[in-house]
Chains A and B, each alone.
Chain A
Amino acid sequence: MTILLIVVVALVVYVIAAYNSLVSAKNQVDNSWRQIDVQLKRRHDLIPNLVEAVKGYMNFERDTLTQVVEARSKAVSAPDQATRMAAENQITAGMGKLLAVMENYPQLKSDQSVMQLQEELTTTENQIAFSRQAYNDAVLSLNTKIEKFPGNIIASNFGFKGAEYFKAAPEDSAVPKVDLGLTPRA
């Protein structure tokens, strides 16, 4: 009788602990996702500034710039998460290219406000990358908890679902094309 009681109590304690650890793992995932979201929104706000800043100078990477702007409007009006992420990944690819190429324009580098904007874009890109990393780590930890035995029994009983990884854009293995056709627009 006593043994049975001990077993039952131990079981209840285990279920409570497992449930709580699942909840905190889930909250970590949600929280990390909000972090990414904040950074993505910040990037959306910076893109018009970028367009404004470089348009006075030259035909600065016209095509890439247009792609980024289009991807931005697609991301803003995306009907679902998957489309939005695809668009965001497009922006990431374009941004990476633009930031790399900006290094090659001495005219841009001599402009204080462009340099400031470049720093802000760089840190935003980095924070997106780092928060995606943190988010994926959180997802890994949640999914592991949900799949591992005996946690999986508790997870399925309380309806915990694994989260989706945020996949990076398929790596643009091609070296960014450097357009050095500097034609300052008078």
Chain B
Amino acid sequence: MPAASDFRALERQNRRETVMLVSGFIIVFLLIGGAFDLFAGTIQIRNGHLYGAPVFMGLALIFAVVQSLVSYFAGAPLILSSVHGQPLTPDTPKHQMVLNVIQEMAVAARLPVPKAYCIPDSAPNAFATGRNPEHSIICVTQGLIDNMDREELQGVIGHEMSHIADYDIRTMMMVAVLVGGIAMLSDFMIRASFFSSMDGDSDRKDGGIAAILMILLAVVAPFLSQLIAMAVSREREYLADASSVEFTRNPRALLRALQRIAETESPLKEGVRGTAHLFIVNPLAANADDEGGFFANLLSTHPPLGKRIARLQAMLAAPAAAAPVSERA
């Protein structure tokens, strides 16, 4: 399989990115803990020397490591519960068909069959997550099941299967859960700095600097985390689109699915801000990305739907270039 080695290269890249993400996460927490230590006076800088015990840094380290472990081993169920996903059972013919299509695409991708989940929402969308192909899940919305025919479903599931094959799911899962952690902590810090400034105990100079640093972190952290989420997901969508075509040998499948999604434009109702980058199309507003502009581009988790459709149309026009190996490297 020409693409197998490419998947392995992408897997290695994803491994690197996950390691970088987790170490970055731990470093950010250490910095925040250090700021707390300075602010609370548990460590002090005198004549260029450090005194005291970095209690908060230690706590932050423990928290960051635990949070990373939880993200890795329990990320998928956490994400599923945050989007209200339920196990998909073959109770209706259409559900049976979805389960069958998942099995078919697993065969095409030579992967174990992922567990299937369903979000009771009428907006057509889907995502895959998990720490590896053996522990992967594919989650589709009821809207996707209702609106797509078999061919279109194959295109969408093929796209998700490619995210599983190259371990995008693991990176994306870690981003989702760790980003959630950063957002939580920065909220907490905004509150903490608000209360401590009411104490009137801000005459110490280093304490003042630490407070500013904390506020800065509190403001920057969510933005930073959002930036990470966006940076790691856009190129992946193009790659997964291309691999979906490789699996189905049919550019029309995903093309028709994306066109149908473009027609519906109904954002997901459930709170998905932290998990938006997991989905096949932006669940916040499927078409919003199309307005373009530099900032819209920078701040979006997905490439514009129009551009993805155009690329698939190009593949349809030139079947020989359906899966350009060079593009996957």
Binding site for B on A (CB under 8 A): 28, 32, 35, 39, 112, 115-116, 119-120, 122-123, 126-127, 130-131, 133-134, 137-138, 140-141
A39, A116, A119, A134: which contacts B110 (Cβ < 8 A)? Answer: A134
- The digit string for B150-189, where 1 denotes a CB below 8 A from any CB of A, is 1000000000000000000000000000000000000000
Q: How far is the CA of A137 from the CA of B325 in the complex (A)?
A: 14
Interface locus among B54-62, B95-103, B204-212 = B95-103
A123 touches B100 (CB 8 A): yes
Binding site for A on B (CB under 8 A): 1-4, 93, 96-97, 100-101, 103-105, 107-108, 110, 150, 247, 249
- Which of chain A's residues have a CB closer than 8 A to the CB of B3? 137
Q: How far is the CA of A122 from the CA of B96 in the complex (A)?
A: 12
Minimum CB–CB distance from B326 to chain A (whole Å) comes to 17
Q: Find the A residue at minimum CB distance from B94.
A: A119
Q: How far is the CA of A131 from the CA of B2 in the complex (A)?
A: 16
> Would A119 and B97 be within 8 Å (CB), given that A127-B107, A130-B104, A130-B108 are in contact?
yes
- Which of chain B's residues have a CB closer than 8 A to the CB of A120? 100
- Which of chain B's residues have a CB closer than 8 A to the CB of A35? 107
A119 touches B93 (CB 8 A): yes
Q: Which 9 A-B pairs have the closest CB atoms?
A: A137-B1, A123-B100, A130-B108, A130-B107, A126-B104, A127-B107, A134-B110, A131-B107, A127-B104
Q: How many A-B residue pairs have CB under 8 A?
A: 48
Q: How far is the CA of A120 from the CA of B247 in the complex (A)?
A: 20
B93 touches A116 (CB 8 A): yes
Q: How far is the CA of A120 from the CA of B108 in the complex (A)?
A: 17
B2, B103, B108: which contacts A134 (Cβ < 8 A)? Answer: B108
- Which of chain A's residues have a CB closer than 8 A to the CB of B101? 123
Q: How far is the CA of A138 from the CA of B103 in the complex (A)?
A: 19
B96 touches A134 (CB 8 A): no
B103 touches A123 (CB 8 A): yes
Can you list 8 A-B contacts with CB-CB less than 8 angstroms, sorted by A residue number?
A39-B107, A116-B96, A120-B100, A123-B103, A130-B105, A131-B107, A133-B249, A137-B2
Minimum CB–CB distance from B165 to chain A (whole Å) comes to 12
Q: Find the A residue at minimum CB distance from B108.
A: A130
Q: Find the B residue at minimum CB distance from A130.
A: B108
B4, B93, B110 pick with most chain A CB within 10 angstroms: B110
Q: How far is the CA of A121 from the CA of B104 in the complex (A)?
A: 12
- Which of chain A's residues have a CB closer than 8 A to the CB of B1? 134, 137-138, 140-141
- Which of chain A's residues have a CB closer than 8 A to the CB of B2? 137, 140-141
Minimum CB–CB distance from A42 to chain B (whole Å) comes to 11
Other 18 A-B pairs with CB < 8 A, given A119-B93, A123-B100, A141-B1: A28-B110, A32-B110, A116-B93, A119-B96, A119-B97, A119-B100, A122-B150, A123-B101, A123-B104, A127-B103, A127-B104, A130-B104, A130-B247, A134-B107, A134-B108, A137-B1, A137-B3, A137-B4
Minimum CB–CB distance from B36 to chain A (whole Å) comes to 50
- Which of chain A's residues have a CB closer than 8 A to the CB of B4? 137, 141
Q: Find the B residue at minimum CB distance from A128.
A: B107
Minimum CB–CB distance from B267 to chain A (whole Å) comes to 31
- Which of chain A's residues have a CB closer than 8 A to the CB of B108? 130-131, 133-134
- Which of chain A's residues have a CB closer than 8 A to the CB of B105? 130
Minimum CB–CB distance from A8 to chain B (whole Å) comes to 29
> Would A115 and B107 be within 8 Å (CB), given that A137-B1, A138-B1 are in contact?
no
Q: Find the A residue at minimum CB distance from B248.
A: A130
Q: How far is the CA of A28 from the CA of B111 in the complex (A)?
A: 12
Q: How far is the CA of A122 from the CA of B112 in the complex (A)?
A: 20
- Which of chain A's residues have a CB closer than 8 A to the CB of B100? 119-120, 122-123, 126
- Which of chain B's residues have a CB closer than 8 A to the CB of A116? 93, 96
- Which of chain A's residues have a CB closer than 8 A to the CB of B93? 112, 115-116, 119
